[in-house]
């Protein structure tokens, strides 16, 4: 594959770019000016508070630009000590920014409700009303300024340091005799040859075993670190902070998890069908993603992947396709799986004054094309929302994932239309079902794993890898039932999941996004072209309001008890289609 690497010069030209030092100095000057507001927030009028918020945005823009650049460079070269040092330095600088601006959050949240509401209701602050309201929801959980400063000061040497070590260990680990990267060995699980899938599973497990002790230690340390901070802040349970960030109630998450768990029967039903289609007596963990076509699927060239994705987007919206095209034309994508590059994929929103960047490990599989679509969906969302500014552009994970999964759905429909045969069509439908299962049922199973492990760490102390592995197998088995046999090697596969390390409690957002997308796409099929501008306005609104309010113009209410069931019903309909196709 041709080398696809990004051009970060819209941020900085290199780690030695003099603009980095200049921005760091200017940032410290801005912080000094901002600190003059200490003790005065309660006395500010609307215009003065607006000026303070604009100054805060400028500070965060500079700080995030520096940190973003260092993070992007490090993610592709985790073996480079100089980039590791740069990334650490920028994390330390960002912690200083957090420390020196937290007085604003503390003073604002201490303001009485009446005066605070008068300010947020005023015309000058209309743009920031939701941001200011959201800050006040954290009021019960803020500590004293001295305590908050200590936490901010220590973050680069506590949780953030362990997260970086996790990335380094996985980024530099090699699997099997051919010294494959994590992305390469995982791609083997999609091989049409059972022997290759089994080999990939064994190589993955054997590689993880070599670093299981440090990975277990990292996980235990982060579990403890979270517990200590949760206890200090008085969060009711381990997921409270994540739910506040996602602007979703505990009850809504419980309803989502309960609804999805109640339909684990769909997972067993599908894999029984797949076992029959493959002609196997027993389906093992490494058979889950086996393609139905016994011949090796041809690799998809980067140029072809680009054409498929852009064509799919253009049929939905010319504007969306034009934005996506910028990522290719201006080299905003890093897709080549290189030595030292971390695994996985993401879209980094960067800063509003620049644009998002997309990180992939593209090996030419059909799944990689879907991942490209997924991350471009995020990228389009972030590009449109950047006009809202630093404080308003970021969206909760729940609605952020809907944009990426909607983009995947558009590409899936294009591939389905292009399918040259009944067999190819059935293979695509099954592949899509597996993607949905990975986003909905598997993520909820992983959520239940996280929940049990966090609670166990708080109740019984440090957890060994055998215990964690047993919880992993138990929660995965609850999803698969008797349809898939999980072998002994599978017990270590919890250890490479980055969300458990970087974003505890993140995973249920995928289920939210997938089911929300099913409902959104159904509405698009009903409304046609009239749906498109409303959807793009929804993306461009960023985080300017609660998800429920942003979705209202689209005719969707995620608090409706029937909402989750409608999304699950659409998943079942796709399974029924696969069953019909297989019977033809």
Residue 298 has pLDDT above 90, yes or no: no
Residue 540 CB neighbour total at 10 angstroms:
17
Q: Please tell me the predicted confidence (pLDDT) of residue 531.
A: 95
Residues 6+ away with beta carbon under 8 Å from 85: none
3-state helix/strand/coil string of 256-317 = HHHHHHCCCHHHHHHHHHHHHHHCCCCCEHHHCCCCCCCCCCCCCCHHHHHHHHHHHHHHHC
328 closest CA partner among 341, 344, 313: 313
Cβ-contact 86, 70 below 8 angstroms: yes
CA 505 to chain centre: 11
Q: Which two tokens stand for residue 244?
A: 């506040």
Q: Quick check: do 18-157 and 178-293+439-502 share a fold?
A: no
d(CA 404, CA 406): 5
Closest CA to 564 of 505, 506, 513: 513
Distance CA(260)–CA(445), nearest Å, equals: 9
Query: Which residues, 6+ apart, have CB-to-CB distance to 144 below 8 Å?
Result: none
Band of residue 157 on the pLDDT scale cut at 50, 70, 90:
confident
pLDDT digits 0-9 by tens, 116-130: 999 999 999 999 999
Burial letters for 157-180: b for 16+ Cβ neighbours within 10 Å, e otherwise? ebbbbbbbbbbbbbbbbbbbeeeb
The pair of structure tokens assigned to 154 is 């220590």
Q: What is the pLDDT of residues 32-71, one digit of tens each?
A: 999 999 999 999 999 999 999 999 999 999 999 999 999 9
Residues in the chain: 584
Contacts of 153 (CB under 8 A, 6+ apart): 95, 96, 99
Percentages helix, strand, coil for the chain (3-state, rounded to 5) are 75, 0, 25
CB 90 within 8 A of CB 98: no
Give me the mean pLDDT over the 363-370 stretch.
Answer: 90
| Confidence tier at 156 by pLDDT (50, 70, 90) | confident
Domain edges within the chain: 18-157, 178-293+439-502, 302-437+524-548
Least confident range from 317-326, 381-390, 418-427, 451-460: namely: 418-427
Return the pLDDT at 295: 60
User: What per-residue confidence (pLDDT) applies to 558?
Assistant: 77
pLDDT beyond 70 at 236: yes
What CATH architecture is 178-293+439-502? Orthogonal Bundle (1.10)
User: 424 Cβ partners below 8 Å, 6+ apart?
Assistant: 293
Under the banding of pLDDT at 50, 70 and 90, the label for residue 85 is very high
Which CATH number does 18-157 carry?
A: 1.20.140.70
Q: Give which of 82, 105, 108, 107 is closest to 152, Cα–Cα.
A: 105
Distance (Å, rounded) from C-alpha 529 to C-alpha 551? 17
Q: What is the pTM of this model?
A: 0.85
Distance CA(282)–CA(44), nearest Å, equals: 69
């Amino acid at each position: 594959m041709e080398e696809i690497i990004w051009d970060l010069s819209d941020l900085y030209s290199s780690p030695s770019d003099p603009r980095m030092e200049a921005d760091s100095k200017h940032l410290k000057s801005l912080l000094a000016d901002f600190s003059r507001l200490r003790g005065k927030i309660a006395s500010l009028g609307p215009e003065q508070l607006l000026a303070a918020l604009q100054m805060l945005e400028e500070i965060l823009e500079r700080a995030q630009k520096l940190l973003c650049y260092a993070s992007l460079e490090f993610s592709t070269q985790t073996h480079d000590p100089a980039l590791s040092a740069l990334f650490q330095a920028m994390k330390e600088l960002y912690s200083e920014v957090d420390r020196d601006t937290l007085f604003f959050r503390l003073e604002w949240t201490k303001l009485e409700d009446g005066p605070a509401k008068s300010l947020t209701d005023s015309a000058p602050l209309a743009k920031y009303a939701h941001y200011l309201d959201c800050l006040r929801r954290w009021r019960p959980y803020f500590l004293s300024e001295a305590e908050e400063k200590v936490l901010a000061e220590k973050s680069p040497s506590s949780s953030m340091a362990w997260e970086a070590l996790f990335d380094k260990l996985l980024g530099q680990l090699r699997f099997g005799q051919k010294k494959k990267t994590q992305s390469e060995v995982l791609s083997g699980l999609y091989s049409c040859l059972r022997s290759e899938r089994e080999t990939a599973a064994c190589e993955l497990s054997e590689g993880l075993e070599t670093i299981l002790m440090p990975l277990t230690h990292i996980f235990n340390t982060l579990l403890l670190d979270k517990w200590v901070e949760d206890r200090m802040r008085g969060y009711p349970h381990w997921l409270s902070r994540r739910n506040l960030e996602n602007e979703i109630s505990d009850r809504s998450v419980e309803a989502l998890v309960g609804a999805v768990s109640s339909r684990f029967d769909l997972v067993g039903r599908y894999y029984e069908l797949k076992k029959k289609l493959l002609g196997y007596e027993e389906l093992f963990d490494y058979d889950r993603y086996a393609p139905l076509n016994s011949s090796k699927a041809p690799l998809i060239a980067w140029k072809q992947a680009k054409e498929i994705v852009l064509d799919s987007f253009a049929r939905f919206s010319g504007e969306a396709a034009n934005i996506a095209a910028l990522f290719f034309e201006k080299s905003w994508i890093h897709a080549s799986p290189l030595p030292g590059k971390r695994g996985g994929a993401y879209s980094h929103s960067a800063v509003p004054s620049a644009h998002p960047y997309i990180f992939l490990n593209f090996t030419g599989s059909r799944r990689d094309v879907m991942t490209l679509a997924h991350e471009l969906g995020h990228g389009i969302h972030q590009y449109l929302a950047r006009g809202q500014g630093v404080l308003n552009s970021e969206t909760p994970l729940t609605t952020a994932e809907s944009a990426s999964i909607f983009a995947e759905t558009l590409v899936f429909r294009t591939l389905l239309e292009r399918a040259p045969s009944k067999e190819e069509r059935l293979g695509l439908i099954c592949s899509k079902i597996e993607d949905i299962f990975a986003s909905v049922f598997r993520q909820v199973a992983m959520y239940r794993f996280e929940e049990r492990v966090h609670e166990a760490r708080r109740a019984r102390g440090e957890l060994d890898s055998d215990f964690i592995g047993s919880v992993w197998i138990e929660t995965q088995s609850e999803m698969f039932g008797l349809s898939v046999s999980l072998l002994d090697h599978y017990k270590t596969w919890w250890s490479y999941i980055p969300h458990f390390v970087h974003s505890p409690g993140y995973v249920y957002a995928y289920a939210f996004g997938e089911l929300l997308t099913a409902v959104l796409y159904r509405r698009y099929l009903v409304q046609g072209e009239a749906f498109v501008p409303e959807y793009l306005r929804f993306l461009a609104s960023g985080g300017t309001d609660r998800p429920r309010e942003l979705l209202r113009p689209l005719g969707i209410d995620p608090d409706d008890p029937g909402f989750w069931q409608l999304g699950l019903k659409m998943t079942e309909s796709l399974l029924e289609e696969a069953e019909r196709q297989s019977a033809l």
